[in-house]
Amino acid sequence: MKALIVQKDHSIKIEEKAKPSVSKGEVLVKIKASALNRRDQWIREGKYPNIKPSVVLGSDGAGIVEEVARDIDKKLIGQEVIINPNINWGDNPDVQSRDYEVLGMPTNGTHAEYISIPADRVYPKPGHLSFIEAAALPLGGLTAYRACFRHGQIEKDKKVLISGFGGGVAQFAFQFAMAVGAWVYVTSGHPNNLRKAVSMGALKGYDYSNKEWAKNCSFDTKGGFDTIIDSAGGEQFDQLTRLLRPAGRLVFYGATNGLPKTLNLYHLFWRQCTLHGSTMGNDDEFVQMLEFVSTHKIKPVVGSVRPFDDILEACNEMKEGELFGKSVLTF
């Protein structure tokens, strides 16, 4: 089968690899579509610890169960499934265990024609999603779900800011917050993304390259936000905390712009604000996320669809950062 394989020098390459066999407890899924995440690109850039050569990359995928191990119910064969990228979250809903991994390094991932995976990692594909849409959902949807609801406590009529609208998780967070009836605002450095957000229902978008944006935003929102979802960090982080309303929550799941240079503790403690580090989500949250997406008929924003053979081109496009929406590969 074809698979995207990590090389010794961390470069990535499509190679032929033996079709995996199913071990006890596993199912063999014929992948119909897989999707890219920044994680794939970071591994390619050597930015991940313990990168193992010859591993199949890919955390997101959807497909059809083709074969099951003897101890697994045969009824699963033929089922259209979406894959949960969590491995070994563990018993504590608050935080992943030490053995936790994300599918696709060091465990073989979804950028391949087949994946052999424990049966409890596959869930029925939500009925309103195509394989392409379903493949775009798992990692980003899970991360956004936990950030929005466990930590961010977003609900109807809350004022919410999604910073860096454009990234996959941010788009899901935007859709999820809209779905529950929050008042949603966004920031982006790309005017195009701001226009798209408004067309998708955002009340307003702020270009953070405009020095006045935070002041304008505070004025427009009459004092800021109940919840802010951020993955940029950097110098803007402190600015975001100042846009928190009393008892506001800033949830962060990344720091693509590096670390902040200060943090206004006075503002935060007097207003009883909280900052929540968040990454991925537990298995219960994955199930809840699928139900939520099904209930609200949410469809991932897909920015590009390519045949699997063009995956390197797709990776390069993601690196450029100009793509709006998830990048999906199909077999």
Would you give the binding string for a copy of itself spanning residues 173-212, x where CB under 8 A is met? ----------------------------------------
Helix segments in 108-235, DSSP class H: 131-135, 138-145, 168-179, 191-199, 213-220
284 binds a copy of itself (CB under 8 A): no
Q: Which of 195, 263, 284, 309 binds a copy of itself (CB under 8 A)?
A: 263
* 3-11, 50-58, 173-181, 268-276 -> range binding a copy of itself (CB under 8 A): 268-276
Neighbour-count burial of 258, counting CB atoms closer than 10 A to its CB (0-12 exposed, 13-18 middle, 19+ buried)? exposed
275 binds a copy of itself (CB under 8 A): yes
CA distance from start to end of the chain: 11
274 binds a copy of itself (CB under 8 A): yes
Tell me the closest approach of the beta carbon of residue 261 to a copy of itself, in angstroms. Answer: 6
49 binds a copy of itself (CB under 8 A): no
Nearer to a copy of itself among residue 4 and residue 273 (C-beta): 273
Q: Which of 25, 118, 260, 325 binds a copy of itself (CB under 8 A)?
A: 260
C-beta of residue 137 within 8 angstroms of C-beta of residue 129: yes
Residues 83-112 that bind a copy of itself (CB under 8 A): 92, 94-96
Distance CA 143, CA 282 (A): 9
The residue ranges of DSSP E strands in the chain, in sequence order, are 2-6, 12-16, 26-35, 60-68, 80-83, 86-87, 101-102, 114-118, 122-124, 159-162, 183-188, 204-207, 225-230, 244-252, 274-277, 302-307, 326-330
Query: What are the tokens at 331?
Result: 């077999």
79 binds a copy of itself (CB under 8 A): no
* 69-77, 78-86, 123-131, 277-285 -> range binding a copy of itself (CB under 8 A): 277-285
CA neighbor of 311 nearest in space, from 44, 18, 17: 44
Q: Which of 209, 272, 295, 316 binds a copy of itself (CB under 8 A)?
A: 272
61 binds a copy of itself (CB under 8 A): no
50 binds a copy of itself (CB under 8 A): no
C-beta of residue 82 within 8 angstroms of C-beta of residue 138: yes
Task: Give kind and range of the element (H or E) at residue 320.
Answer: helix 311-320
273 binds a copy of itself (CB under 8 A): yes
Residues 150-169 that bind a copy of itself (CB under 8 A): 151
222 binds a copy of itself (CB under 8 A): no
Nearer to a copy of itself among residue 113 and residue 226 (C-beta): 226
Distance CA 318, CA 273 (A): 34
Tell me the closest approach of the beta carbon of residue 285 to a copy of itself, in angstroms. Answer: 12
Q: Are strands 326-330 and 225-230 parallel, antiparallel or unpaired?
A: unpaired
Amino acid at 21: S
Distance CA 298, CA 136 (A): 12
Q: Which of 163, 188, 278, 327 binds a copy of itself (CB under 8 A)?
A: 278
Could you tell me how many residues of this chain bind a copy of itself (CB under 8 A)? Answer: 33
Distance CA 248, CA 272 (A): 7
8 binds a copy of itself (CB under 8 A): no
Give me the residues that bind a copy of itself (CB under 8 A), please. Answer: 92, 94-96, 151, 233, 237, 246-247, 252-255, 259-266, 268-279
